[in-house]
Structure 1
């Protein structure tokens, strides 16, 4: 675990790489059910074959949502953290579609860490979600998280 006092020395560095996560049709369908986004390019393999994608693709927001699991795996929380919350994004771009049957993983680079006082740390990571075997990433984001560490 990283100590808050060590964050300044890590800025600009890669601080984590998650394990691969498989994107199968069952995961895509479950996400569609949760979000009520049943667009055919996600849930209808036969119709999706007729598109330039050649088959179903993951929802962009499914890929984005998996960043939480990627972060737990690759970066973790600060030492002594009592709570962490998603604080949003400064930038987010979906670069390439994630075909069904692909694997994705997150690569985390620490961009900034601001001591907001009262044990609150605003941490920004550049996250690149890679697709196994493809040159283009699924997405690139500047993701903000607020971690609470007893002062």
Structure 2
């Protein structure tokens, strides 16, 4: 799997079904959990109370599922492929498959699962299948996300 880097001008035609991408990683800290709770109002004890999380059967506090999802979406933007995105169309098939703990390092991997033109000649749709992977190579989340992307202008830049 190769990484796409830089802030290049990637158009819809530049990626096809099966192309694989990998974003950088981030190590989850206490600050991530506390700030996410404050930002979203998600003050669930599994994320903020060590004793409660352990009594619930976890080794310690776990990251919010939507935090892991948002990090995957955000970290993949650092590959530079989203410079021509005109709209984010949504999420499908979100599954949290394993807990993310403080100290885990996660990164996104994505594959172009579908690429189709739209009725408007200047744009197309990409659907990416995401995996969020921890430092042990375990998949901790999967989901699909779709984007409307500008097509390369006819006779335009390459």
Structure 2 residues without counterparts, runs of 5 or longer? 1-7, 154-158
Structure 1 residues without counterparts, runs of 5 or longer? none
Task: Point out the structure with the larger strand share.
Answer: 1
Structure-to-structure mapping, 1:35-114, within 5 angstroms? 35-74=40-79, 76-77=81-82, 81=84, 83-114=85-116
Given candidates 121, 124, 128, the residue that maps to 1:125 is: 128
Contact 2:100 2:140 in 1 (8 A): yes
Does the residue aligned with 2:101 lie in a helix, a strand or coil? coil
Deviation track 1:62-109 (CA, whole Å, cap 9, x = no partner) reads: 01111232221235226xx2x432211232211111011111100010
TM score, norm. by length of structure 1:
0.84
Equivalences, count: 144
TM score, norm. by length of structure 2:
0.81
